[in-house]
Chain A
């Protein structure tokens, strides 16, 4: 078995290198002059994909079907405007094999940021050697040995501890975000309906989402929850205090219904959010009303129920952050558990000199994973023994924790992978019809899209996952392990790859549209203001040609983490013997296949 694996790994590596060399070597060939007639209409180029040979000079003759569009090739300076009734001509040299994405560069409607087309320069071997790399990474990650690393405690460091124990810390984090939130709501309600020039859509779906997925989640997990302004007004009212600690809260403090003490409400909310994702992210009014709705629900639930039930059970973003926070290299845990065992007050859970944990976690006892920790630092302030640690740790450490795995979290992990794939097709793909379907333009197409979307994320992917669990159990020869448990456990292995894919997707959406951020800073409402003189900013320096490389690296890193996690999880189910190694094979193959699907979509 071992030798076979090694042989396969060497074969994959050799294949990858050969394909890599072939792909790079095919660059400089004297090519033909190619003419392509392209139609630009809301919101697609037709034909959506154009294939040429490396070395060709491609002249696009572009006509508009409706309003004014633009044509800009990502990663090059090539750009032109396509006025209705006039043919625009632009020549694009097709240099190296691979895929070039071109996009509309003149705002033409709500879906303008997703109006893209593809120029495939053959022979495009990116999906092939990308896939070979993925097989290779899968094998290496599956074979590598796990090691333990020290987890230094940041709270031991005096300035950090001083800061974390300030009562005003959380308010200081929330206040600036409350200001942004106010402008976002206002812009959506009274500003322009054009998403690309409204502070609301740009700041939420480009600036905030980009920072969240590319920086905050991978480095800090739920760090956003510590500074999120949405639940703040409700919490302040329920506590009867903004900064200080009041022993008697003003809210009713009822218990949250037992049947809803899980992530299924958040799962449902997230499902709705991603189903209507294309509408929500492009309409300022919808974005604002949704966020305002979150704040209102948070306000209501915080006044009626105890602690922060909105953040713990209801918030869709909280569900997403919860499962991905397990990957973060940062954890809040009890320092010395012996001290906690001696502790009489359990102030971290029950409250003491500070508020009790808002999400019902018990750092001194059961908390072994990041999932529900908001990093609000109340327990650090409450603990009379200074026994709460904020540790730096390896990425993905929580995935090895077998205790506490749950079906709701597993389904969130599956939903998020499926959504990353679906949104990559809808928003980054060149197919206009699926954009129109998802854009709620008519009932029947939207229903077909709904069927397709839900069928994929709730049907197809989970069914595949179940099949993988069954195959893995059969190969491992361990019929006594319940399939249900394997299905839940294996979903956790999807998390690193899911986050890697979300990062790749987010980068491809955010990077080409980043120049809208300074523009809406100067004119937040689309009223013709120019507060900072940046209303006409363009980012010509953005190195978009490097985008595929970064995307590939993110997918590979995610796959690496996923297969590592899969190894641990399979080991927990089947022990360390040959059975576990056989059991790993279907799961690792599944992960490689998903990563490959993303590679084909992004680079093929």
Chain B
């Protein structure tokens, strides 16, 4: 069997899906600012669905890779950030803009901190748990019925906020109630991000303290 090279990893099917998601993200950026709401909606939705597909194909085809995991994480952060960036100016409200900036920062920092802590501690997948884990995080990561609606609901909330500015009035009778349904999901998901940020920070601090204490002996 021929030896695999790093360039082969770049051609893995899940990673090709990842590149496609990146290009969908680029299309979304254009369609938002050039005001094609339906293009934005279709592409953002497609990107979200493919987010599930790339993990599925990675496992199915035995093409899991660290590169793919980071590509996936980075694409998630950038597509969410791009939508939130546009939302800061779509609603002419400084308070909502500040909230959006806060959410972008929380998203970036919680995932960054978590990834760093996981790598330092040596877990291979950021969805692994142990007995000492915070109850909210354990519940979130282990129960798919909680994990999927919260992630989906969070993204759906931002996408709905966007669509509410463009849909015809009759469609708003559906989309605005949906937005209100998605709001608590968004709040809970971000609360979990905050918990994750704190827990990961504590893990790093524990490692730092242990290293200090060891070096003092």
Please determine whether chains A and B interact with each other in the same assembly.
no
B residues near A (Cβ < 8 Å) are none
